[in-house]
Amino acid sequence: MPNQPSQEQIECLERTINEIDALQAIYGNEDSEEDETSSVCILSASELGAARSKIDGDDEMHNFTIPHLELQVKTSIDDGTIVNLKFSLPPGYPQEKAAVVSPSID
């Protein structure tokens, strides 16, 4: 039997993608040259691209497993210190599971 996500899982994935888009709008894309002190790097770019295709309706949902998505936000705090926050967004986030955030300081 083909694997097909439930409507709730699809809605969670859609919310996750919207949150990633919002972070990119706030902090910029890692390829952007506008602000070197803040950016979002998608660590699971191929999985995110596949998920976007499914959500946008470009691909059918059967035989699709909701991916585990990862990204890293780089930003600076008041004293100029660069902080990296790695986000791990498991399938079911944000409804069923919490994000795992790992900070580091450069």
pLDDT digits (tens, 9 = 90+) for 6-65: 889 999 999 999 999 999 999 998 766 666 789 999 999 999 999 999 888 866 777 889
Residues 6+ apart with CB under 8 A from 95: 8, 11, 12, 15
* Degrees, nearest 5: CA angle 70-15-62: 85
What phi and psi, each to the nearest 5 degrees, are found at residue 5? Answer: -65, 150
Give this prediction's pTM.
0.86
